[in-house]
A and B are shown apart, each in its own frame.
Chain A
Amino acid sequence: MILKRQVLARHLTAMLPLLSVGALFLYALWPWLPFSPRGAEPRTVIFYGFSILGEVMTEAIFPAFQESWHRRTGQSVELISAFAGSGTITNQLIMGVPADVALLSLELDARRLSDARVIPPQSWRRLPHRGVVNRTPFIILVRPGNSENIRDFADLARPGIQVVHPDPLTSGGANWALIAEYGAALRNNPAQPGAGQDLLLGIWRNVVAQAASARAARTQFENGFGDALITYEQEVLWDRARGRLQAEIVYPHSTILSEHTLVVIERNVEPQERELVDAFVAFLWSEPAQRLFVTYGFRSMNERLNEANPSFGKIADPFLIDDLGGWERAKREIVDGIWKNHVLKELGQ
C-alpha cells in the first residue's frame, strides 16, 4: 500500500512539469479554440492615437461607436488601437503599420505623412474643421502648494526651477509646448522681438528631464522629477476628475490651444471597410462623441458643448497656431530656427 502510494507520487512529480506546461498552453490557446464562445468574425478598424488619447478612446469613444454601429447595422465592430507619442506614431505609419485612421497631436505630423506619400497632400483638410477633432490648452503643472510661486511661463526661466519637458523630436505635445512658451512671450512683450527666444533659452536651461511623449513626461513628473511640467490641460483635468491629481494647475496669461488632426490612411482601408471607416470618422465629430471628449477634458470644436465641463480653466489670452502663421512656418522659424539652431546650440546639447 505504502509502496503503491510512493510509486504514484513519483509518477505525479514526473508528470507535474508536463501537466503544468499543458495547462499553460491550453490557457494561452483558449480564445482561439473552435469550441470557445465566439461570435462571427467582427469587422475591424485599426486606430493609432497620440499618447493622451488612450483613456478617452478605449473607455468612451470606441464603445459608443460600437453601440451606434450595432444599432444601425446589427454588426459588431472591433477597434484595434495603439497609443504612443505623436512623432512615434507618425514614424510607425511611415514604416507601414496597417492603421486605417490616426489621430495626431499636430498637423505637422500629418504633413510629414504626406511628404512620405503615406497620405495625399492636404487630404485631412477636406475633413470637418480641416481635420481638427478637438483642442486643449497648454498649461503648467506644479507641486501642491506651488511653493516656487510659478504664475506664468516666464517664471519657468527663473534660476533653480526644475522643468520636465517632453522631447520635441518624438512628442507632438512638446512641439505645442515650445510654441506655447514662445508665442506667450511674444504676446506678453509685443515691443521685444527677441522675447520668445530669451524665454525658450531660460526654460530649456532649467529642463531636467525629457521624455518621449507627453504621457511619459507626466509619469516622470508624478514620479517626483522637477518642480513644473508643461502639458495638455486635458491630461490634468481628467486626473482631477477622478481625484487622482496630486498637483496644481497654473493657467498662463497667454497660451496656445493645441489642435489634434485626424488622418485617414486611404491605402490601408480595404474597399469593403470603406463605409465602416467613413462612419467612424464622421462619428468623431458627432455631438455624442464630442460630448464624450468634453467629459474627458478635451475642448470641443463646438463651443456650446464646452459649457458642460465646468472644470475648464479661463485663459485671458488664448491663441492658435494660425496666429503664428500655421505649423509649417512655426516649425521652420520657431522649432528648427530658434529652438534647435539657437537654444540647443547655446546650451551645448
Chain B
Amino acid sequence: MRGTSSKVPAWRRTVFLPVGLLLFVLLPLLLLPLAAVFVFAFRGGPGAFLAALRNSDAQFALRFSLLMAFGTAAVNAVLGTFTAYVLSKYRFPGRQPLNIVVNLPVAIPTVVVGTSLLLLWGPIGLLGRLLEPVGLQPMFAPAGVLLAHLFVTFPYMLGAIKPLLDELEITYEEVAYTMGATRWQAFWYVILPALRNGLFTGALLTFAHSLGEFGATVLVSGNLRLRTQTAPLYIFAQFEAGNIANANAVAAVLALLSFVIFFFLLRYTGRPAWGRV
C-alpha cells in the first residue's frame, strides 16, 4: 500500500472488494441471527419484554446462571493458575501427557461430559453409588451443574495463564529468591502481578462459557424449574414449549451480557485471547 501513489480511489478499490465480500458473508452468518434475537425480543414492545423477564422462572434462571458463572470463574481461576504454575515451573515425568489431558475439555463434546459425569456421580454411577447411602447426591443439584461447568471451562483459565508463565523472565523470580523470598512470596509478589491480564482474560472467558453452557448442563441438572434450570436451559424449554417471547427475552439478555464481556476483553487486554488455549 505504501508504494502506491497517493490517489485516493486506489486504496478504495483494493479494500472495497474484500471488505464488501466479508460483510456479505458475515451478514447472514453472524450479524443477522444476532439481530433477529433482539428484533423478536422487542417485537411485543418493551413492556412485554420486561414482563417476560420479570417472570419468576426467568429471574431464577438468570440469577442461577450468573452464580454458577461466578463460582466457576472463581474456582477455575485458582485451579487453573495452580495447574499452569505446576506445569510451567516443574519438570516431572508425565508432564506432557498431563498437559494434553488438562486441555482436553475444549475438544470433548459437552454432551459426552454430561454423560460421563452422570455415570460417575449419578445415583447409579461408579462413585455416586457410594455417596447415595451417605445422603450426598451432587447430580440433579446445583453442585452437579458446577461440576459440569468446572470441567467444561477448565482449559480457558489455563490457556490464558500458562503462556504468560512460560514467557515470564525467570530472573525476576530468582532475584526474589536471592533476597530471601519463599516460593509462596515469590509467587504472590513477583509472578501473580505479572499474570494480571491473563487472570482477567481467563476469568472472563470462563465466565462467558459457563453462562452459555448447555450440553453438559442439560444432562446433569435434571432441568428443574426454580432449582437447577440455568438460563440456556430455560431458553430451550420455553422455545420448545412455543413460548418464543419468553425464550427470546432471556436470550437477548444473555447476548447482551456476552457483548459486554467481549467489550471488556478487547478494551482491557487489547486483543481477544481465546485462540491461545
Contacts and interface: CB of A to CB of B under 8 A. Distances in A.
Do the two chains bind? yes
Nearest to B264: A17
Interface of A is mostly: helix
Given A54-B241, A222-B242, A80 B225 contact: yes
Contacts of B229: 82
Interface string A213-255: 1011011001000000000000000000000000000000000
Given A83-B241, A215-B240, A215-B242, A27 B227 contact: no
B224 A25 contact: no
A60 interface: no
Contact of A216 (B122, B124, B240, B268): B240
B277 interface: no
B139 A96 contact: yes
A219 B124 contact: no
A35 to B, nearest CB: 16
Nearest to A212: B240
Contact of B242 (A25, A31, A92, A219): A219
A84 interface: yes
B85 interface: no
A82 B140 CA distance: 11
A197 to B, nearest CB: 32
B262 interface: no
Interface in B28-85: 60, 62-64, 66-67, 70
Contacts of A80: 224-227
Given A215-B240, A216-B240, A222-B242, A46 B224 contact: yes
Contacts of B235: none
A31 B67 CA distance: 11
Given A28-B63, A30-B63, A80-B227, A98 B222 contact: yes
B226 A78 contact: yes
A339 to B, nearest CB: 24
A27 B66 contact: yes
B48 to A, nearest CB: 15
Interface of B: 60, 62-64, 66-67, 70, 118, 122-124, 128, 137, 139-141, 222-227, 229, 237, 239-242, 260, 264, 268
Given A46-B224, A54-B241, 8 more contacts: A17-B268, A30-B63, A80-B224, A82-B222, A83-B241, A97-B222, A98-B137, A98-B141
Query: Would you list the 4 A-B pairs with minimal beta carbon distance, nearest first?
Result: A96-B123, A28-B66, A97-B222, A28-B63
25 contacts: A17-B264, A27-B63, A28-B62, A28-B63, A29-B63, A29-B67, A46-B227, A51-B241, A54-B241, A55-B241, A78-B226, A80-B225, A80-B226, A82-B224, A82-B225, A83-B241, A95-B118, A95-B123, A97-B222, A98-B137, A98-B140, A98-B141, A218-B242, A219-B239, A222-B242
